[in-house]
Structure 1
Amino acid sequence: MSVKQGKQTRIDLNTAVIGLARARNQKASAEQKLEQSKIDLTEVLGVSPSDAVGVTGELDVTLEDLPPTSQLVEMAQSQRADLKAAAARIAADESGLEVAKSLTIPNLKVFGFYDREEGSNLFGAGVSMPLTVFHDYSGEQRQAAARLKTSELEAEALRLATERQVVSAVARYESTAVRLRQMNESILERSEETLQLMQKALRAGKVGASDVLAAQDNLLSVRQEYVQVQNDYIDAVRALEISTGGALSMSAGS
């Protein structure tokens, strides 16, 4: 209409046509992603993919304060199944070492006897001890000690790895929490306010439609970035829960 009225050029019209085509492609891509997300949701819910599922309401991501990092590390080291398994291996290897040591110590046998010889009563006692001449079990003891040492080193390495995972997860969580708070309070709200002001200015004849479209496009970009930050936050929450072995359970939104 603007081209016919001489207010816009043919170049402007071509730009608008290209923009419309891009918008339609983006919409088709978004619809495809939406359908795939619904299929993924049915898998998580354990229902048939053919069932009609949907999500209503707004994604509400609640920021929560974390306990001290040292406390989270202690929770992880007492809760994680892999650390419990490592402790069980150490206990088993300690028992194996004790058994190997017992084999190197001869079993002493104490005995007594009674006999008669030429009208006399003979009483006596003695101690017997087997001599391990051919096999002293020292090799078994060294092997058991080596297994115990290996289990202890592996358990220590696992404890250090757990601590690094928790510290890393905490840093990731705090970073995404700051980004989410800034995005919500500063960028998103101001972008929405800018669009509202541009719409009022358009009705008052102070700006053109292209200015409003630019504000709308900026708001869409900001919302997409906001959704990505929310995803990053949820991933950070999940990393915290995994690193602590489920000892920490947080709300990732509803």
Structure 2
Amino acid sequence: MRNVLVPLSCAALFSLGPTVASAAPEDGRPVADPSSSVAASGAAARLAPLTLSVAIERAMSAHPRLRAAVLDVEASDGAVQQAALPPNPSLAFEQEDTRRDTRTVTVLLSQPLEVGGQRAARTALARQGREVARADLDALRAEVRADVVQAFFSALIAQERVSAATESLRIAGSGADMTARRVAAGKLSPIDETRARVALATARVELRQAEAERVAARHALALATGQEEAAFVTLDGGADSLPGLPDEADLARRLSDAPTLRRSRLEVDRAQAAYELERARRFPDVTVSLGAKRSQELGRSQAVIGVSMPLPVFDRNQGAQREALKRRQAAEAMAEAQAYRLRAEVLSAAVELRARVDEIDALRRDVLPGAREAHAAAMRGFELGKFGFLDVLDAQRTWLQARMQWLDALMKAHRANAELERRLGAPTQQP
């Protein structure tokens, strides 16, 4: 046996040798692992700048709240399927007497029959529930998209605040150095140097606050997209890209098809379907029975046929009908109130957006250039000895305040635009 196994083992090794050798490159370098290339591509995607369109796409495809809403719609499909099923038949067995010669055995098959269109009404109610679930999904998509838009521009503006604070620190540092040289030369008093150092320390504090706000804004953006913080490193976009101003005709058109209004109208339809179901239930179900009865004493079998139904003497489902009717009327009133409130909120957000856009245009056109030129002139005059350091601080404060006011106006404009998107559903500006 050993003499047979040894040659076979050697042959197997020689046959595997070329295969193993062919698996390795001829130059002796190791073979690249496919999983490493996949990991590298994933890392590259994480390091790529995050745009608004990519952030919205990530949120729409992977946000946990949207996944839960989709599962809710799928669950409502099961409710429709269940509502369309007829009631099950029942099988009954009955025996009279225990003695073999005199006992009687009855086997009965009963089938309830729904009358008055109960199954159709029940199915219609389940379908209306499914439509409400789909409307909830559409409203949630609009809300998630608006949250992403607002968080994205908040993060961009937080980056701009860090840039503004960094520039403020640089200006304060150069002013402090210039003031120290002039104090050493005896051209300024030590009080001016103290003021310059205080301004420098204040600029450092403002920079740390701006950096903390940027970190918080990035966390908020990660939460809005349903992704981890490490899923993006930098943001690709302009904080000053203003949303479009919707006109009255566009607002009226989108307002009539807003997700919340569609949902409220569907709630009225569902309440109406529930009322129709309760009206159908005022008719009692009929149960038809068919079976056989075997009597040992008579020595023969007999057919058993029966029909039964409850008598609607006391319970005619009148209380449930009244409840369903009042709930339908309440749903109609809620839909009307929702329409009034939504219109007021949309008009308020539109007015806010227009006001902020006008403010941004004025700041960009008049205030910011003037404040920048005034600061530059104050710095040149201070270098030439024509202005005092208080003039430089005042010009610097004016320039920085104008820039922060511009960033605040941008933040409020994007927030108003997000409120419009959240309520109207369709975006006012494509990313």
Change (3 A) 1:57 1:210: farther
Displacement of 1:66: 1.3
Change (3 A) 1:4 1:239: same
Displacement of 1:177: 1.5
CA distance in 2, matches of 1:234, 1:151: 34
Displacement of 1:170: 1.2
Displacement of 1:147: 1.8
The partner residue of 1:75 within 242, 248, 254 is: 254
| Match status 1:93 vs 2:271 | yes
Whether the 8 Å contact between 1:93 and 1:147 is mirrored in structure 2 is yes
Change (3 A) 1:41 1:132: closer
Whether the 8 Å contact between 1:194 and 1:215 is mirrored in structure 2 is yes
> 2:418 maps to what in 1?
238
CA distance in 1, matches of 2:227, 2:322: 56
Kindly provide the amino acid, as one letter, of the partner of residue 196 in structure 1: A
Displacement of 1:218: 1.8
Q: Deviations over 1:90-127 (max 9, x none)?
A: 22322333344456689xxxxxxxxxxxxxxxxxxxxx
Displacement of 1:241: 0.8
Per the alignment, in what secondary structure is the counterpart of residue 370 of structure 2?
helix
What's the RMSD between the two structures over aligned residues? 3.3
Residue correspondences, number: 227
Kindly provide the amino acid, as one letter, of the partner of residue 88 in structure 1: L
What does 1:199-218 align with in structure 2 at a 5 Å threshold? 199-201=379-381, 206-208=386-388, 210-218=390-398
Change (3 A) 1:140 1:184: same
| Match status 1:23 vs 2:203 | yes
Whether the 8 Å contact between 1:62 and 1:251 is mirrored in structure 2 is no
| Match status 1:151 vs 2:338 | no
Per the alignment, in what secondary structure is the counterpart of residue 190 of structure 1?
helix
Kindly provide the amino acid, as one letter, of the partner of residue 201 in structure 2: A
What does 1:11-160 align with in structure 2 at a 5 Å threshold? 11-41=191-221, 48-50=228-230, 53-55=233-235, 58-62=238-242, 64-68=244-248, 71-80=250-259, 82-102=260-280, 132-160=312-340
Q: Deviations over 1:111-169 (max 9, x none)?
A: xxxxxxxxxxxxxxxxxxx9844444433332222121111111111111211211111
Displacement of 1:41: 4.7
Whether the 8 Å contact between 1:176 and 1:229 is mirrored in structure 2 is yes
The partner residue of 1:225 within 400, 405, 418 is: 405
Displacement of 1:215: 2.1
CA distance in 2, matches of 1:238, 1:135: 53
CA distance in 1, matches of 2:324, 2:223: 47
Change (3 A) 1:135 1:32: closer
Kindly provide the amino acid, as one letter, of the partner of residue 348 in structure 2: S
Q: Which moved more, 1:183-192 or 1:140-149?
A: 140-149
| Match status 1:247 vs 2:426 | yes
Per the alignment, in what secondary structure is the counterpart of residue 180 of structure 1?
helix
CA distance in 1, matches of 2:359, 2:321: 57
CA distance in 2, matches of 1:221, 1:158: 40
Displacement of 1:220: 1.5
Whether the 8 Å contact between 2:242 and 2:413 is mirrored in structure 1 is no
Q: Deviations over 1:168-205 (max 9, x none)?
A: 11121122112112111121121122233344545665
Per the alignment, in what secondary structure is the counterpart of residue 3 of structure 1?
helix
The partner residue of 2:190 within 10, 18, 22 is: 10
CA distance in 1, matches of 2:262, 2:408: 36
Unaligned 5+ runs, structure 2? 1-180, 285-309
Kindly provide the amino acid, as one letter, of the partner of residue 94 in structure 1: Q
Change (3 A) 1:137 1:28: closer
> 1:169 maps to what in 2?
349
Displacement of 1:227: 0.8
Whether the 8 Å contact between 2:243 and 2:414 is mirrored in structure 1 is no
CA distance in 1, matches of 2:268, 2:232: 51
Give the TM-score, by structure 1 length: 0.72
Query: Percentage identity across aligned positions?
Result: 24
> 1:111 maps to what in 2?
none
Displacement of 1:228: 1.0
Per the alignment, in what secondary structure is the counterpart of residue 426 of structure 2?
coil
Displacement of 1:13: 2.8
Per the alignment, in what secondary structure is the counterpart of residue 2 of structure 1?
helix
Displacement of 1:239: 0.8
Unaligned 5+ runs, structure 1? 107-129
